[in-house]
Chains A and B, each alone.
Chain A
Amino acid sequence: MPHDHHDHDHPAHSPPQPDDKVHSYYQILGVALKELLIEKGIVTADEVRSAIEKRDQITPAHGAAVVARAWSDAGFRTRLLTDANAAVAELGYPMTTTRLVAVENTADVHNVVVCTLCSCYPRELLGLPPAWYKSRAYRARIVHEPRAVLAEFGTQLLEETEVRVHDSTADMRFLVVPRRPAGTESLDEAALAELVSRDSMIGVAVVRQP
């Protein structure tokens, strides 16, 4: 499928054009598919709208609430690490179509998550994946030079820290439980959740002391 008749550059993963106009054949194709599928009764416009609205409501705050609970409640932490699907459902975030595995960072082990083949991600807890997570560069490099990749994200690990890279699949997603920073003993769960970034739950960042 050559693109040599395009009159503008069209590199992979290019952001959408800023003028809101339709530039790509595939944008037109997407509109055509939606119209046809609605006309044939395979989907409804309401269903699509509702799916988009639900997706927009999921932010990394869901995952941060899970992490803050694990930091605050030893029983929940144990349940999260043994049966993450059941544990996150307790907080009202059911993941019914994929297995969820929570991996905990410790003084000795740092975990980081990728989907080398595509873009699988715990969307129910973190929302849609960031563009870099879907990029070829991240997917290619994180598995063989994780320390170099983490350094690009500003995360320097000690030489003796073991790095574990977890490759997601269509059936299995991972949530990193970052280390709770020192000096947060007096913070309640809501304040703790504020500290937990999306990137720390993917594993490319750590949670900083407030």
Chain B
Amino acid sequence: MTSTHPAVELDGLTKSFGAVTAVDGLSLRVQPGEVVAFLGPNGAGKTTTIDMLLGLSRPDRGTVRVLGGTPDDAVARGRVAAVLQTGGLLKDLTVGETVRMTAHFYRHTRPAAEVLERAGITDIADRVVGRCSGGQQQRLRFALALLPDPDLMVLDEPTTGMDVEGRRDFWQALRRDARRGRTVIFATHYLDEADAYADRIVLVRQGRIVADGTTAEIKNLAAGRTVRATLPGADQAALAALPGVDAVEVRGDSVLVRTGDSDAIARHLLTRTAARDVEITSRNLEDAFLALTTAQTGA
């Protein structure tokens, strides 16, 4: 199979659980070799989408194509592999046995020793899974996913529940494996992970894609700065009317002004009003994330 097919084609994907629409007409195309972060708050529909992408659940409407075929076929041929939050391990097998047993299910795999090495768990190969930390178990799941040398690797919140060191080790392992041409899709609600490891960020909220672009593009969606000051009785309308002001928010005695010209706003606040404690902060990916994922909630 050549790389003429997109790695993933989701078209109008919809899935409801009772009255809750978890995924709502989601369409996405991922090209071979892309590293895509699926970013969104809990309950945004990331896991439901991934389950459908892997053929673990069926969409109510819409279609899924993985590497030009069905998800089931891609899984059976080892073309797609995944690290899921819900995938369990047998506590009474050793790490090495788990890898060797899983390898037997495929027609052909990379050597067990190689995937253990790449996942950074060679030293605990003889340890019983039940005595491994959460981070070690997650790297074991990663080793299992490496076995078929997949063209597409899917990771659902791979570092949830890990401490800082565990998260770092996990991403280092994933980076070490960054083989040219392997498509990676990972869901996360950690902005720094999306920022650090993805070429492309797909922001999801309430089962829909609300933004899709490079990390820089997503950050630009929230370009500009925020000027915050203490100003009792601020005239919100007057501030909003100033040139270069995007939004004004009053929280008690504080006023927050989003603007492309923070110098002018700060000068105005300090010279024309009784404002004090003026702070200027640039907006980051977190602001973009919050702006895009919390806007109009409760709709």
Chains A and B are bound partners? no
A-side residues, CB < 8 A to B, are none
